Structure 1
């Protein structure tokens, strides 16, 4: 779909370098650069940005970088370098924020149930830290296993990947080129961008709400996808409604 723009090229190279580095260094890089739950001792503010350059495996980075390659350069050419950078990182930050919010909604009920059952908060956190180290969950008398699992999963599961930022790019692309025909592999029928990307977004909403995985692995951060897409869509919609400001960004 045309030449690769400078910003997209830099993002592709940075993501690949981070991925190679994380494969060499292993868990240490994950501990420092992945986005951990804020109550976790591994959490650092910088992770709100660095997690966007981390990926969980080859298929994860290949899918994200392919989407960035296919849609990013076209979008950057349409809206300019500065706007593209702003949209990409604001979508990634929004993705992280929404995912953290829903992680708290999973964490807090279980934590409060433990407190209500008379368990000391320090004991709860010790069990959570043990789960980080050993992946073994500790259950407590008087607290349902389901609540403990939800609490512990929220605490021990780091978030990685550029997916939130990529969903922002996809949503913005659908705003700029809503009727552009796109093709899915093995389906020789063109689908307008607004329907294909919109349908993909709705599948993620369904999975986030129901907990049923339709696409991708079971630990996919669907709320992050949703957060990135919403910010990408709203930002691009606002820019299109205020065209008189476009030269200020380019």
Structure 2
């Protein structure tokens, strides 16, 4: 048995406290404030490379709570609530919150480095990076689950994750997909994979191989 380290020492409290719903509420509140009450707040919370270089370091974290429009918010929050709730019940609320926030932060940092090296000054918003990570962990813990795409097409969770990874990688390399932050999505998947391997001591690829 491998010795436990600070990287994989799990929380003793694994109770379910519905952190997922609280995250959804925070995202909705931030959207209401930035879209209806104080729109300029978006520029302080979204991740803008030139602002980060000027000292707005918190944007690497806060960007994940800002959304570009109602449909953007709705899709992300539905995904978070559906898949996040299941993962939270499996790993506990503290573990899920740590995973979610670290995945979003890692995705923000990776995106910032990419934009900085490319000399691109964009406005990055949305919880998609963290949610892609949640989807991967959902597929790891519930590999036999079937997700209905558009409510019609059944597909196993691991296959969906693999397809998403391929699509995002293709779009990032070949510049397809317009203003979608493909690198942020990929970063979420990569960090979730590393989180599973290092902290959870689970190999997602091995789980997928056994269940496909």
What interval of TM-score do these two structures reach, taking the shorter chain for normalisation? 0.7 to 0.9
2:129 to 155, 161, 164: 164
1:187 corresponds in structure 2 to: 152
Computed over aligned residues only, the root mean square deviation of the Cα atoms, in angstroms, reads: 1.9
1:23 corresponds in structure 2 to: 35
1:143 corresponds in structure 2 to: none
Deviation (angstroms), 1:98: 1.3
TM-score, with structure 1 as normaliser: 0.70
Deviation (angstroms), 1:41: 6.9
Q: Is the 8 A contact 1:48 1:96 kept in 2?
A: yes
Secondary structure of the structure 1 residue equivalent to 2:126: coil
TM-score, with structure 2 as normaliser: 0.81
Deviation (angstroms), 1:25: 3.5
Paired with 2:28 and 2:135, the residues of 1 have a C-alpha distance of 20
Listed as ranges, the matches of 1:204-215 within 5 Å are 204-213=168-177
Cα deviation digits, residues 53-77 of structure 1 (max 9, x gap): 1000011101100100110000000
Q: Which has the larger radius of gyration?
A: 1
Which consecutive residues of structure 1, in runs of 5 or more, have no partner in the other structure?
A: 108-153, 243-250
Deviation (angstroms), 1:240: 4.0
Single out whichever of 219-228 and 40-49 deviates more from structure 2. Answer: 40-49
C-alpha change, 1:209 and 1:43, in structure 2 (3 Å) is farther
Deviation (angstroms), 1:176: 1.5
Secondary structure of the structure 1 residue equivalent to 2:148: strand
Listed as ranges, the matches of 1:13-162 within 5 Å are 13-38=25-50, 44-107=56-119, 154-155=120-121, 157-162=122-127
Which consecutive residues of structure 2, in runs of 5 or more, have no partner in the other structure?
A: 1-15, 203-212
1:11 corresponds in structure 2 to: 23
Deviation (angstroms), 1:18: 0.3
Secondary structure of the structure 1 residue equivalent to 2:49: coil
Single out whichever of 25-34 and 81-90 deviates more from structure 2. Answer: 25-34
Q: How many residues align?
A: 187
Paired with 1:38 and 1:31, the residues of 2 have a C-alpha distance of 11
